[in-house]
Amino acid sequence: MIEQTKIRGFSQLETDEKRKIIAQACFNNQHEADYFNEFTLNDKALQETFEQFSENTLTNHHLPFGVIPNVRIDDRIYHVPAVIEESSVIAAAAKAASFWFDRGGFKTIDERFVKNGQVYFSWNNTDKWLETNKNKLFSYLKNATSHLTESMEKRGGGITGFDIKKLTDNNLDAYKLTVYFNTADSMGANFINTVLEEIANALPLFAEQHNMNEPEIIMAILSNYTPENSVTLELSCPVEELTWNSTLPPKQFAEKFVKAMQIAQNDVSRAVTHNKGIMNGTDAVVLATGNDYRATEAAVHAFASEGGQYSSLSKAEISDGIFRMQLKLPMALGTVGGLTKIHPTASLALKMLNNPTAPELMKIAAAAGLANNFAAVAALVSTGIQHGHMKLHLNNILMSENATQEQRRLAKKWFANRTVSVQAVRAFLQNHNEMAQ
């Protein structure tokens, strides 16, 4: 049953009016409109910048902007900006980054930067003709798009190749024309889609020039599946240097760690959580730098299923007394274009990283992922995850229980060597209140 009337012309209204209408419609209360206003910035011009990123903006939704200090990658040191709401993520990444800083840091062992997009079409002619003439078609399409690719070519990018394939599975009868791109330091989504749409226009003209039937263009779109746009990072050290904590001697720790990694490679239940732990760090950097975390998530999880079964993105081994851990992350990040310069804190984040190139940013985001992954698996095979997690979550519990500043101070002292849980915190606060009366 529809209880409310449809709101018409909403997107054309001023922000204040939008707030009032939504406050009335959703809360039946005008006060909530003021509440939306409370989280906006005093600087009107800056607030307008935020509002213009999207449509129908009512207020700002704040998340903590933190830093993972001392991330050493290929012997360069970064203090990595990270935006995340989960209390233990930055602490875990910082601890792992510091630990590995002293053991050589993160090393790049593979990098590749090829993006791709497709034009799907029904050919309506013989397959053989297309096969014979495909190279002619590719150079025609390259020429037809040269006005769009010229400036990208000056920045070292452009179209790097073509491929054509007939899709026949499940009685499908369609062609897939793949175009490969290098988009330099931009994520490149707009560039790729513009070029693909021009190719979609040029393809029927090519057929017409060769007296062929007109192909039907089904769609043209970039692919977020970017296995050839990836970085692979490695951490390594002699097993005896794996002195992560005092609960396990290094050799036993390393062996248990590798077994946990093998479980993540072979068991979907574990692989999904394992990869979520990687993305805790990676997404935080992607968000901080104004990049598209949905595209990143889609890319990495598709890649995790590449072998036909969802598996872990990282692996570890011990060989000749050396512990090695690797992470390969396919993703498409940019350091120019999009929100990177216009979002004030995204631009600040990039400045903190000394305005990196896109490949460099991919390594930084992967290093944050690998740091979180190492810290999570290390905790899982030694102390367990809740010990550290709940300590950091203590603040959130205290806030939700409306603890006073004094109660918070005492609670942190009390729980320094005790197990944190919602019940335990409630009992502590109750006790504290009774004693105060």
By CB under 6 A, tell whether 241 contacts ligand MEV: no
312 binds ligand MEV (CB under 6 A): no
> Degrees (nearest 5) of the Cα angle 395, 400, 406?
55
Tell me: does residue 160 bind ligand MEV (CB under 6 A): no
Q: Who contacts 287 (Cβ-Cβ below 8 Å, separation ≥6)?
A: 63, 83, 84, 293
Pairwise CA distance, residues 128 & 134, whole Å: 10
Residue from 22, 268, 385, 424 binding ligand MEV (CB under 6 A): 385
Shortest separation between residue 375's beta carbon and ligand MEV, angstroms: 8
Provide the minimum distance between the beta carbon of 106 and ligand MEV in the complex, in angstroms, as a whole number: 18
In the complex, what is the shortest distance from the CB of residue 315 to ligand MEV, in angstroms, rounded to a whole number?
Answer: 14
Using CB under 6 A as the binding rule, whether residue 144 contacts ligand MEV is answered as no
| Helix and strand counts by DSSP (H, E) for the chain | 15, 10
Using rule CB under 6 A, residue 267 touches ligand MEV: no
Under 8 Å between Cβ of 262 and 251: no
The reply to whether 276 sits near ligand MEV by the rule CB under 6 A is: yes
Rounded to whole angstroms, the Cα distance separating 108 from 298 reads 23
- Measured CA to CA, the distance from residue 350 to residue 342 in angstroms comes to 12
Decide: is 327 part of the binding site for ligand MEV (CB under 6 A). no
Among 51, 86, 255, 401, binds ligand MEV (CB under 6 A): 86
Binding to ligand MEV by residue 277, rule CB under 6 A? yes
Alpha carbon dihedral 168, 174, 175, 181, in 10-degree steps, equals: -100
In angstroms, the CA 50 to CA 39 distance is: 12
Among 274, 343, 363, 391, binds ligand MEV (CB under 6 A): 274
Q: Does 273 bind ligand MEV (CB under 6 A)?
A: yes
Structure token digits, residue 206: 């090519």
Query: What are the helix (H) ranges across 322-357?
Result: 344-352
Q: Is 315 in the site for ligand MEV (CB under 6 A)?
A: no
Query: Which tokens belong to 431?
Result: 């006790």
CB of 80 to ligand MEV, least distance (A): 18
For ligand MEV, which residue of 182, 280, 282, 326 counts as binding (CB under 6 A)?
280
- Closer CB to ligand MEV, 337 or 369, in the complex: 369
- Asked whether 121 and 214 are in contact (CB, 8 A), the reply is no
Footprint of ligand MEV on this chain (CB under 6 A)? Answer: 86, 273-274, 276-277, 280, 376-377, 380, 385
